[in-house]
């Protein structure tokens, strides 16, 4: 497993990795096993990495602890200028998300789940925090993160709209949503209506058109937003490659 930044609480990467494995041994709620995790190697020069023998349950528990989080080098603000004065957003702090994690790149962090909680008051979240369970990053761009999707309950329109409203109030330039909206006509889809309001304020809204390929369906987008998806090309593109020894290959 890899992790790019070692928390300051640990004296060495080996100390850090061992603490991670110790947490798997002692947390009976996460995993129970008769054979403790075994650390095989730690690498600290060519790459920060450790190799370990785990049971399937321990592996799943470990996957839930190592994510692309604000501590990652991907969120460093090296070379970035000052935050524009027009920015009004903040980082919603908690015991696991301290102010030092907000910088000139990660300029806003909030989460929205009142709609999900209203639908199911007994729901338990793995991370009832702004932290992401899957992660994602955009290089050389300032980020304001608004978490609205929850792994056990997905997302609700009320939470999504509240996050978009907050983003517009904070002064974002682009709203990028890795989400797809199905089953509603444009004039009945509240998120499309909010996207129209964003367009009127000069803010581009980008959403997903699915990533699963060949379903025969119409993209659920609207004329005032950017809808992004993936596709395949059912043809070959030929070219000629000339090698250093003079031989020619056609690809």
pLDDT tens for each residue of 47-65: 777 788 888 888 877 776 6
Question: For the chain, what are the domain ranges?
Answer: 13-63, 80-228
Give this prediction's pTM.
0.62
Q: Does domain 80-228 have CATH number 3.90.950.10?
A: no
Burial 101-117 (b: 16+ CB within 10 A, else e): bbbebbbbbbbbbebbb
Contact 223, 231 (CB under 8 A): no
β-pairing, 240-242 with 248-250? antiparallel
Listed residue (80, 133, 134) closest to 106, CA to CA: 80
Query: For residue 88, what pLDDT is reported?
Result: 92
pLDDT band at 205; cut points 50, 70, 90: very high
Q: What is the pLDDT of residue 9?
A: 54
Number of H helices, E strands in the chain: 5, 9
Residue 23: predicted pLDDT? 67
- Residue 170, pLDDT score: 94
Question: Cα 159 vs. chain centroid, distance in angstroms?
Answer: 17
């Amino acid at each position: 497993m890899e992790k790019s930044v070692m928390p300051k609480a640990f004296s060495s990467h080996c100390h850090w990795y061992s603490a991670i494995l110790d947490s798997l041994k002692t947390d009976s709620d996460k995993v129970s096993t008769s054979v403790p995790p075994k650390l095989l190697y730690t690498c600290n020069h060519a790459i920060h990495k450790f190799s370990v023998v785990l049971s399937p349950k321990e592996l799943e528990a470990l996957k839930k602890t190592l994510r692309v989080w604000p501590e990652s080098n991907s969120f460093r603000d090296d070379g970035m200028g000052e935050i524009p004065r027009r920015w009004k957003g903040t980082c919603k702090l908690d015991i696991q998300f301290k102010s030092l994690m907000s910088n000139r790149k990660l300029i806003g962090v909030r989460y929205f789940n009142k709609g999900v909680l209203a639908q199911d008051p007994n729901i338990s979240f793995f991370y009832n925090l702004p932290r992401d369970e899957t992660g994602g990053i955009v290089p050389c761009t300032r980020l304001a993160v608004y978490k609205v999707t929850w792994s056990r309950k997905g997302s609700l329109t009320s939470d999504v709209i509240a996050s978009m409203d907050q983003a517009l109030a904070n002064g974002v330039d682009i709203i990028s949503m890795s989400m797809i909206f199905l089953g509603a006509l444009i004039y009945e889809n509240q998120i499309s209506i909010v996207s129209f309001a964003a367009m009127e304020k000069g803010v581009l809204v980008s959403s997903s058109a699915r990533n699963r390929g060949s379903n025969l369906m119409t993209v659920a987008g609207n004329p005032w937003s950017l809808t992004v998806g993936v596709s395949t090309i059912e043809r070959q593109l030929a070219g000629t490659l000339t090698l250093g020894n003079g031989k020619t290959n056609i690809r």
